[in-house]
Chain A
């Protein structure tokens, strides 16, 4: 079996994507990596290699004596201050991480952005441009980023984006494994480089509060069971990802945990029109309507479904626990 050399680097990162990776559970992480032939030249959490020996590996890649197949980046590339990249130097190297990334990206077969920070900039770039931070090939939703709009790795692919804060371990491990086995085709990705297997869905798909959504029976308080879209900032109907089809940590998801989707897979999620846990509205109508839904239809359907809401759904929506059970059919007399 061929070996795929992978290198995982952290930029302006919280490390959450690496922590998520460790939680892969279809098999054990090491088994999954081995079965795909992935050999980490270096991973910040897993590797024994430390210090100058690690910097030497990077130098050997640049010299061409070690081949690099998968360059995996976690965290926001930082270009500040004043374009120098000195906000993040690679320890022990006297060279900005952003510069290492540019040089390594030119040699790798595939370049993968893990997490919304590496893909689009993410939380650290919220508010202002003090960090001069950016994504690998996008700056929020604008093509460009650190590597530029025209960048392709030696395989001909642009940066492959696995957004999320943090992404599901399946998304990371399976995408890396398929790439290692050259098992992905261009049609497996959307135009922004996201694997369609996961990002062909909306977070709304499989939402445990679907009945409340159908009737627009909305939560008023944060602990209510009702739909969180109308008042509590939930963006599940607009955010890409199969979050509620796939279980997180065995059985969870944001909605299973009883809190709103903040659209952490989407470019620019860090800068919102309203506070994260409130829904931005104009004239009482949410600004962010469900994907692909004309506004007039949404308003009309919402009015109709609200008027048709069963008492059970309306009252349960305003409680933290079920107060009305679904009606049981009586056995025929």
Chain B
């Protein structure tokens, strides 16, 4: 048995370090840490409410828009302002574009290159994996081109990405005119073609009609596109057996239009589907380099660093839903939504590396489909924006579904300025450290019992499992 520190990780957003306890063949225990503190929530204190729209997105350069959306939704609740439908549609398109670009970046730049590592050079499928080689494989350039062209939607809708300021509590400052709707449709059409030709190898409608694991097996037969290539590598490497978090699945819900949400709010645990009891979310800091009471509700939380704390090993707090750790992300939200395909794959295999990756890539098809409708629904003659005013005192919580899962913002105003701001980001849930009961976080559980290949110091399976969550450490240790 030995201990080993693994890090830094390339191709994850931000800084990550993992301590493994292992023997020759297996990971026994893992502790996850992001070795950085920024305290971004403290930057918001004593500022005007709308300043959150400048500071929150700068927590994260990869999921910047999701931070804007969560902040704007929390502020909208405080000002009690309904958003015009055009504002909702435009906000959804901007967030949808970010989620698409994140999923694409994750699949091609962050996750797939690990299959082209030298450790797999004697595998019969290795020649297929070379397409995904970091920096050198042809898939990298194709994905970057598709990503750059897709982000042209941001130029039209949001001015720029990352860090737009068009998203407000009362809608968007940017108006979309008829000619711009056309431009957006053309850009999205081009991205649909990339997905159909390169990622899925079939029309998106075929991907969206899959209802069960058997359907996937049938669909991938004779399919040589990139998602099917991943499924082949995954089958060879048993990636549908590893990386199980054994955690409650949670979705905060998001992408609202006219009172309904594309991604539903809820949880899925041993009792099946259930409502999300928002009040029962708390953060445990027993193993975090943070001062204060062990369990803190976000409305009463503090963010003071305490580096020499006994038992602490991470800057990340440990969010818990009545003492349970929760997994968030594309897989979680589609199981919570009750989608047949993901309920079936989750019930058969649980949350594995393969299921997480498949759900994320599949979600691109779903989003493109909805974004096409959202563009059509914009009525350029109607308003996109309503001005809002804030009460002197008040508190609100709001959620957005970011690429990596549920993002929650808790805001409190006192005498007209921000007196408390707490954020629980997707990777804070997924990469949380242990809690006071000693219960490990989702990634820590997912790494337990991971098989180690012969002679490996830096196990490649750990790399696959870590990246299957698409971690964003910048958000985690905001």
A binds B: yes
- The answer to whether B140 has its CB under 8 Å from any CB of chain A is yes
- The answer to whether B151 has its CB under 8 Å from any CB of chain A is yes
Given that A29-B144, A259-B173 are contacting pairs, would A249 and B151 also be in contact in the complex, using a CB cutoff of 8 Å? Answer: yes
A10-47 interface with B by 8 A CB criterion: 10, 12-20, 22-25, 28-31, 40, 42-47
Please name all residues of chain B whose beta carbon is closer than 8 Å to the beta carbon of A91 when the two chains form the complex. 5, 7-9, 15-17, 35
A71-115 interface with B by 8 A CB criterion: 76, 78, 81, 86-93
A155-190 interface with B by 8 A CB criterion: 165-166
B65 to chain A, nearest CB (A): 11
CB-CB nearest in chain A for B387: A221
B160 in contact with A257 (CB, 8 Å) = yes
Once the chains are docked, how many angstroms separate the CA of A306 from the CA of B273?
62
Given that A15-B13, A222-B168, A249-B154 are contacting pairs, would A123 and B37 also be in contact in the complex, using a CB cutoff of 8 Å? Answer: no
B16-62 interface with A by 8 A CB criterion: 16-17, 35-40, 42-43, 45-48, 50-51, 53-55, 58-62
B43 in contact with A123 (CB, 8 Å) = yes
Please name all residues of chain B whose beta carbon is closer than 8 Å to the beta carbon of A254 when the two chains form the complex. 159-160, 165
A128 to chain B, nearest CB (A): 7
Known A14-B59, A46-B11, A50-B458; further 16 A-B contacts with Cβ < 8 A: A14-B58, A22-B144, A22-B148, A43-B10, A48-B117, A50-B10, A88-B35, A89-B17, A92-B6, A123-B40, A223-B383, A249-B158, A251-B152, A252-B154, A275-B51, A277-B53
- The answer to whether A280 has its CB under 8 Å from any CB of chain B is no
A45 in contact with B11 (CB, 8 Å) = yes
Once the chains are docked, how many angstroms separate the CA of A24 from the CA of B157?
19
- 30 intermolecular pairs with C-beta atoms under 8 Å apart: A10-B15, A15-B60, A16-B58, A16-B62, A19-B61, A28-B144, A28-B145, A48-B134, A48-B135, A49-B10, A51-B7, A55-B8, A78-B37, A87-B37, A89-B36, A91-B5, A127-B45, A165-B58, A222-B168, A223-B384, A252-B158, A259-B166, A260-B165, A262-B165, A275-B47, A276-B50, A276-B51, A277-B54, A278-B48, A320-B385
Once the chains are docked, how many angstroms separate the CA of A126 from the CA of B60?
16
B175 in contact with A258 (CB, 8 Å) = yes
A50 in contact with B463 (CB, 8 Å) = yes
Please name all residues of chain B whose beta carbon is closer than 8 Å to the beta carbon of A151 when the two chains form the complex. none
Closest 4 CB pairs of A and B: A257-B159, A16-B61, A91-B7, A250-B152
Contacts between chains A and B (CB distance < 8 A), count: 259
- The answer to whether B205 has its CB under 8 Å from any CB of chain A is no
Instruction: Spell out A's residues near B (CB within 8 Å).
Output: 10, 12-20, 22-25, 28-31, 40, 42-55, 76, 78, 81, 86-93, 123-124, 126-128, 130-131, 165-166, 221-223, 247-260, 262, 264, 270, 275-278, 320-321
Once the chains are docked, how many angstroms separate the CA of A12 from the CA of B172?
30
- The answer to whether B320 has its CB under 8 Å from any CB of chain A is no
Given that A14-B61, A223-B175 are contacting pairs, would A252 and B160 also be in contact in the complex, using a CB cutoff of 8 Å? Answer: yes
Once the chains are docked, how many angstroms separate the CA of A23 from the CA of B147?
8
B214 to chain A, nearest CB (A): 35
B59 in contact with A23 (CB, 8 Å) = no
Q: Mark B445-478, 1 if CB is under 8 A from A, else 0.
A: 0000000000001100001000000000010000
CB-CB nearest in chain A for B164: A257
CB-CB nearest in chain A for B12: A44
Please name all residues of chain B whose beta carbon is closer than 8 Å to the beta carbon of A223 when the two chains form the complex. 171, 173, 175, 383-385, 387
Please name all residues of chain A whose beta carbon is closer than 8 Å to the beta carbon of B161 when the two chains form the complex. 19, 23, 248-249
- The answer to whether B440 has its CB under 8 Å from any CB of chain A is no
Please name all residues of chain B whose beta carbon is closer than 8 Å to the beta carbon of A13 when the two chains form the complex. 14, 61, 474
B133 in contact with A257 (CB, 8 Å) = no
B64 in contact with A46 (CB, 8 Å) = no
B139 to chain A, nearest CB (A): 12
CB-CB nearest in chain B for A243: B160
B155 in contact with A15 (CB, 8 Å) = no
- Which of the residues A47, A131, A222, A321 comes within 8 Å of B10, measured between beta carbons? A47
Q: Mark B185-224, 1 if CB is under 8 A from A, else 0.
A: 0000000000000000000000000000000000000000
Given that A22-B105, A222-B168, A251-B156 are contacting pairs, would A15 and B474 also be in contact in the complex, using a CB cutoff of 8 Å? Answer: yes
Please name all residues of chain A whose beta carbon is closer than 8 Å to the beta carbon of B141 when the two chains form the complex. 28, 30-31
Please name all residues of chain B whose beta carbon is closer than 8 Å to the beta carbon of A20 when the two chains form the complex. 61, 162
B113 in contact with A258 (CB, 8 Å) = no
Once the chains are docked, how many angstroms separate the CA of A329 from the CA of B59?
52
Q: Mark B358-372, 1 if CB is under 8 A from A, else 0.
A: 000000000000000
CB-CB nearest in chain B for A122: B58
Please name all residues of chain B whose beta carbon is closer than 8 Å to the beta carbon of A166 when the two chains form the complex. 61, 162-163
Please name all residues of chain A whose beta carbon is closer than 8 Å to the beta carbon of B53 when the two chains form the complex. 276-277
Please name all residues of chain B whose beta carbon is closer than 8 Å to the beta carbon of A54 when the two chains form the complex. 8, 10
B165 in contact with A45 (CB, 8 Å) = no
Please name all residues of chain B whose beta carbon is closer than 8 Å to the beta carbon of A89 when the two chains form the complex. 17, 35-36
Please name all residues of chain A whose beta carbon is closer than 8 Å to the beta carbon of B154 when the two chains form the complex. 248-249, 252
B114-140 interface with A by 8 A CB criterion: 114, 116-117, 133-135, 140
- The answer to whether B305 has its CB under 8 Å from any CB of chain A is yes
Once the chains are docked, how many angstroms separate the CA of A55 from the CA of B37?
21
Given that A248-B155, A249-B152 are contacting pairs, would A12 and B38 also be in contact in the complex, using a CB cutoff of 8 Å? Answer: yes
